[in-house]
Structure 1
Amino acid sequence: MLPLEKAADMMGVPASKIVHLVRDGKLIALRSAEGRVIPGRYLDDDGRLNRFVPGITALLKDGGYSDEEIIRHLFDNDDTLPGRPIDCLHGHLAREVMRRAQAMAL
């Protein structure tokens, strides 16, 4: 988990950018003893925000899923995928994960 300020530093953007993404429903921030944090897996290896994370988050929110349900969906193992959906968003199965999220949101 990354505090918003640290995530912003890693991404090379102001912390307000992260706050806006959270407020606009494109990222989910959780509360911790350190303040608001985002999962480090939201970022690619180069420190950039994974391009699919805002889309899948907004898609599932628009479909009526709660923040907790979205986090659970992204970070729980899926037996029909090789691992967790969040990990697949970093590889060649990203479009499949997005397609499944679209079907879930209907």
Structure 2
Amino acid sequence: MCDDVLSETDEVLTLPDVAELLGVPVTRVHQMLRDDLLLAVRRDKIAVIPSTFFVADEENVGKQRVLKQLPGLIAVLRDGGYSHAEALRWMYEEDPSLPGRPVDALHTHSAREVVRRAQALAL
């Protein structure tokens, strides 16, 4: 967990909200954070996770799941020496060649390109 490096306009969810969204106990969300499957920031002294990290789960109506490429992207950035804050900054920084931000591109056909670029940064 790191200080809030996101824009104030980026929507975030509390850990209990994420647990409900995923249909898991809040302790599982804590474990996902420890395992670097998700990243969180402190906003107003509360741990929160960006809502863009989730998509609708077609298999479980009304539930969501973590973006498929997100855990791998976090691992690549962490292995490349990025701190949690630096990884989040990179994911949320505008990149006109994508277009948009890497975190938004994870929701499109460009998700693999985002991971490839993160791998290139680590070299």
So what's the TM-score if we normalise by structure 2?
0.80
So what's the TM-score if we normalise by structure 1?
0.92
Displacement, 1:27?
1.6
What are the ranges of 5 or more consecutive residues in structure 1 without an aligned counterpart?
none
Q: How many Å separate the matches in 1 of 2:22 and 2:100?
A: 25
Higher helix share: 1
The match for 1:26 is 37
Find the structure with the greater CA-based Rg. Answer: 2
Q: How many Å separate the matches in 2 of 1:24 and 1:11?
A: 16
Higher strand share: 2
Displacement, 1:32?
2.1
- Asked whether 1:95 is paired with 2:112, we answer yes
Q: How many Å separate the matches in 2 of 1:73 and 1:24?
A: 20
Find 1:78's aligned residue among 81, 91, 95: 95
Q: Percent identity?
A: 45
Q: How many Å separate the matches in 2 of 1:16 and 1:53?
A: 20
Q: How many Å separate the matches in 2 of 1:70 and 1:40?
A: 16
Query: CA RMSD, aligned part only?
Result: 1.3
Q: How many residues align?
A: 106
The match for 1:10 is 21
The match for 2:61 is none
Secondary structure (helix, strand or coil) at the match of 2:55 reads coil
CA shift digits 1:49-106 (9 cap, x unpaired):
1111111011101110011111111111102111110111011000100111111122
1:28-43 aligned at under 5 Å gives the runs 28-33=39-44, 35-43=46-54
